[in-house]
Amino acid sequence: MIDIRNLSAGYKGQPVLRGISLNVGEGEFTGILGPNGSGKTTLIRALSGVLPYASGSIHIAGHDVRALSAKARARHCATVAQKNPGLSGVRAMSLVLMGRYPHISFLGGYSRHDYLRVQAAMEETSCLDLAERSTEALSGGELQRVITAKALAQDTRLLLLDEAASNLDVARTMDLYELLRIKNAAGLTILTVAHDLNLAALYCQRLVFLKNGSVAADGPTREIFTAQTLSDIYETPLAVAEHPLTGTPQAYLVPRA
């Protein structure tokens, strides 16, 4: 589904990603983790076509992302970004409806099917009650749910998320990841950036750790989520033990003194 080869990208001539290569198969639920400044957001921005990259290549579903128009790219890949400027004054349902834009013809309008998909996506993300509210009147968590609904309404085979739970409380965070689990089980390929190590370990089948713009570790969650790996990557002592209910590995902070 995703084929990245020798990708280098950054901002104003300053490299952030340094020649990384990564493959994500169809149907995977993969977490991207790493310290601040390691290149997680830069990777998502490059994949989504927002950030031009200096060298290397990115193919999504066999298509070179540079060769695709924005509309064509949006038919393959939906993104829940960390920052979403320019959304003020838009009705929540109108924002979600924008997710259907890649599927309408040049002269066509939105169909009944488009509106039904929007309603379903807003129901799935528990934000249908916000449909008539302006985005200016939404809290950070409410807006995040609306933006996630927009991405789901896009009906792509690939979903990219950049800290999609950052503005959500604990209950809403679990709602989101349970929904992602269900969508993944139905065939959606998911690549999500996360800061919460334990949440990623609970839900992601595979973890990719970035550090200093390179892939520091990559593998199945139960194999790679070890105290040694985490301590080396984050440069602080961490312990790992099994979750008492799921058996998945979970990290614990260790006092330095």
Which domains does the chain show, CATH number per domain?
Answer: 2-253 (3.40.50.300)
Q: How confident is the model at residue 88 (pLDDT cuts 50, 70, 90)?
A: confident
Put simply, whether the predicted model's pTM sits higher than 0.75 gets the answer: yes
Query: Which tokens belong to 119?
Result: 């309603």
The one-letter code for the residue type at 105 is S
Print burial letters for 124-162: b (CB count within 10 Å at least 16), e (below 16): bbebbebbebebeebeebbbbbbbbbbbbbbbbbbbbbb
pLDDT(77) > 80: yes
Share of the chain above pLDDT 90, in %: 90
**For residue 85, is pLDDT > 80?**
no
Where does the pLDDT of residue 218 fall: very low under 50, low under 70, confident under 90, or very high at 90 and above?
very high
Q: Which residues contact 75 (CB under 8 A, 6 or more apart)?
A: 102, 103, 156
Rg (CA), the chain: 19
